[in-house]
Amino acid sequence: MTTTAKDIIKRIKDEEIEWVDLRFTDPRGKWQHLQMCSGAMGEDEFEDGLMFDGSSIEGWKVINESDMILRPDLDAVYSDPFSATPMLAVFCDIVEPGDGSLYARDPRSTAKRAEAFLKTTGLGDTVYVGPEPEFFMFDDVRFEDGYDRSYFKIDDIELPTNTGREYEMGNLGHRPRAKGGYFPVPPVDSTMDVRAEMVSTLLEMGLPMDKHHHEVAAAQHELGVTFGTLTQTADRVQVYKYVVQMVAQAYGKTATFMPKPIKDDNGSGMHTHMSIWDNGKPTFAGNGYAGLSDNCLYFIGGVIKHAKALNAFTNPTTNSYKRLVPGFEAPVLLAYSSRNRSASCRIPYGSGDKAKRVEFRFPDPLANPYLSFSALLMAGIDGIENRLHPGDAMDKNLYDLPPEELANVPTVCGSLREALESLEEDYEFLLKGDVFYREQIEAYAALKWEENARLETTPSPVEYDMYYSS
């Protein structure tokens, strides 16, 4: 049942809410907010939205056309457990003031357009998405990038570098080694209770959670949020990240979703499960490989075909490609399989037709979830519409393939530069149904080219080590 402005106003009164926090997502994927006194939010404000300056958001409006509307989605409202006084966090869409249309560059609006486009194709009426964002928690993080120095230094009680460290209360010795965090019980797993509080908080906020566990690397973790519809799930990813970082901070720790903060250990991914349903029936179930339908295989084929362009959205940072290298369980090879996790497209085991889905393993948690999920859907739809079969499944361990076989398996991009260049050459599939817009893609890419240029023009401590005395 649709929530009305009257419903929200009644809730504000009943729960003595003092603040209404209007939240939206910028092109890079960061949650932004505008906090309003609850008394200033009447029916008109909840239904029509509020004006704000869109030129202040990188990648959006220029100053001479900056006025935009922040319109609340009244079906996406959460109580914020971290506010000192009662507060509602409300997801908002960005709306053009001239004609009331969803703003072309608003990521959440893109997700809504993607879901609407699916319905027009006749392929299904619902797309379900199940993400697995991983993250690291540290005790101390320091970094500097200046004129005369560049460094970072991290520390955490779990890091294997601390096995010989002297602590005031003694070194208790229980910690995972490199790639040894999956997943012994405490005391080796030192943050079980921190993760449990994160999950409990998310459950209280209404998210469907099912588990939490330590990940492969020291200080690396994952919480289990179950599937939902595309925009709904992207919203949940934003709540997930917020809660992870806020709970970590409450425990005196710091959480990061950087894909590769540690050189010699596994990086963090955001494996993304997807399936299309129609009239309550799973369209990805069939009689093909691993019980899949032709449409599911074509969906995989579309993602494989457009994977390098997709990387600009699914792996949108320079740091993303320090994870996507062989040897760290990284899914760099564009193949599909029901058996091994070395393939970038995996068919998870599940009993019954309803469990049939495909898991894309190359995305990472710095992806803007609205853009990443929408781009994956658009690539999959293109695959179905053009019957792009992905070929035979690869059920071998792809990391052990001989060089002559490996040469025939395509890979994801090796750098953000390659991803952005691939997007420049392959973006038409994103424009169907006006889901993405050309100027939106160009503005997004311009932000990412700035990031890439900064990395490529900055000397690294590694280069001093390799070349200073040459």
273 is in an annotated binding site: yes
85 and 146, same structural domain? no
Q: Please name the residues in contact with 250: beta carbons below 8 A apart, sequence gap of 6 or more.
A: none
Structure-block tokens of residue 78: 């959460």
H-helix or E-strand spanning residue 48:
helix 43-48
Whether residues 57 and 199 fall in one domain: no
* Same domain? 442 vs 388: yes
What sign has the CA pseudo-torsion 366, 368, 374, 379?
negative
Tell me the residue length of the chain. 470
Q: Is 389 annotated as a binding residue?
A: no
Per the annotation, does 132 bind a ligand? yes
Candidates 301, 304, 296, 364; CA nearest to 329 is: 364
Q: In the numeric block, which tokens belong to residue 442?
A: 């160009």
Q: Within this chain, do residues 316 and 359 fall inside the same structural domain, yes or no?
A: yes
| 195 φ, ψ (degrees, to nearest 5) | -65, -40
Is the residue at 115 inside a domain?
no
> Tokens 């658009």 sit at which residue?
378
- Check whether residue 145 and residue 49 sit in a common domain: no
Q: Where are the beta strands (DSSP E) in 364-445?
A: none
User: Which residues span the domain enclosing 24?
Assistant: 5-103
- Same domain? 85 vs 144: no
| Residues 288, 223 share a domain | yes
My answer on whether 148 and 286 are in the same domain is yes
Residue 118, domain member (yes or no): no
271 is in an annotated binding site: yes
Residue 109 lies in a domain: no
Domain check: are 228 and 347 in the same one?
Answer: yes
CA 98: distance to chain centroid? Answer: 32
Q: Where are the beta strands (DSSP E) in 347-455?
A: 358-360
For every residue of 175-229, DSSP letters joined together read: ---TT--S-PPTTTSTTHHHHHHHHHHHHHTT--EEEEEE-SSTTEEEEEE--EE
For residue 416, the SS3 value is: helix
Which residue type occupies 409?
A: V
Query: Of 332, 312, 322, 287, which Cα lies nearest the Cα of 430?
Result: 312
210 is in an annotated binding site: yes
Give residue for tokens 């590694």: 462
Question: Is 173 exposed, middle or buried (CB count within 10 Å of its CB: 0-12, 13-18, 19+)?
Answer: exposed
Q: Are strands 126-138 and 220-225 parallel, antiparallel or unpaired?
A: antiparallel
Consult the annotation and say whether 405 binds a ligand: no
Instruction: Give, for all 470 residues of the chain, the pLDDT tens digit.
Output: 789 999 999 999 999 999 999 999 999 999 999 999 999 999 999 999 999 988 888 998 765 567 899 999 999 999 999 999 999 999 999 999 989 899 999 999 999 999 999 999 999 999 999 999 999 999 999 999 999 999 999 999 999 999 999 999 999 989 999 888 898 999 999 999 999 999 999 999 999 999 999 999 999 999 999 999 999 999 999 999 999 999 999 999 999 999 999 999 999 999 999 999 999 999 999 999 999 999 999 999 999 999 999 999 999 999 999 999 876 667 888 999 987 767 899 999 888 999 999 999 999 999 999 999 999 999 999 999 999 999 988 887 777 777 787 778 889 999 999 999 999 999 999 999 999 999 999 999 999 999 999 999 999 999 999 999 99
Residues 86 and 212 in one domain: no
Q: What contacts 88, CB < 8 A, 6 or more positions away?
A: 8, 11, 12, 17, 19, 20, 21, 38, 77, 78, 79, 80
Q: How buried is 435 (Cβ within 10 angstroms: 0-12 exposed, 13-18 middle, 19+ buried)?
A: buried
Active-site annotation, residues: 53, 132, 134, 215, 222, 271, 341, 359, 361
Please give the Cα distance from 54 to 344 (Å, whole number): 37
Of 318, 323, 313, which Cα lies nearest the Cα of 269? 323
Give the separation between CA 209 and CA 54, rounded to whole angstroms. Answer: 34
Contact predicate 376/430, CB 8 Å:
no
Token look-up 């989605």 returns 73
Domain count, the chain: 2
* CATH code for the domain in which residue 70 is found: 3.10.20.70
Known binding residue 58? Answer is no
Residue 412 forms part of a structural domain: yes
- Is 266 assigned a ligand-binding role in the annotation? yes
Q: Measuring CA to CA, how many Å separate 251 from each of 29, 85, 139, 185? A: 25, 20, 10, 20
Whether residue 339 is annotated as binding a ligand: the answer is no
Residue 65 has a pLDDT of 66
Angle between helices 192-204 and 230-250 (to 10 degrees): 130
Residue 117, CA atoms < 13 Å, CB-side half-sphere: 23
Q: Structure pTM?
A: 0.96
Confirm or deny that 456 is annotated as ligand binding.
Answer: no
CA 185 vs CA 192, 193, 219: distances in Å: 9, 12, 14
Looking at residue 53, what is its pLDDT?
86
- Strand 126-138 versus strand 228-229 pairing type: antiparallel
Q: At 208, list the tokens.
A: 């469907």
Asked if residues 183 and 214 have their Cβ atoms less than 8 Å apart, the reply is: yes
Same domain, 414 and 379: yes
Amino acid identity of residue 315, one-letter, is N
180 in a domain, yes or no? no
Nearest to 367 by CA among 268, 435, 253, 229: 268
48 and 139 belong to one structural domain: no
> The domain spanning residue 261 has which CATH number?
3.30.590.10
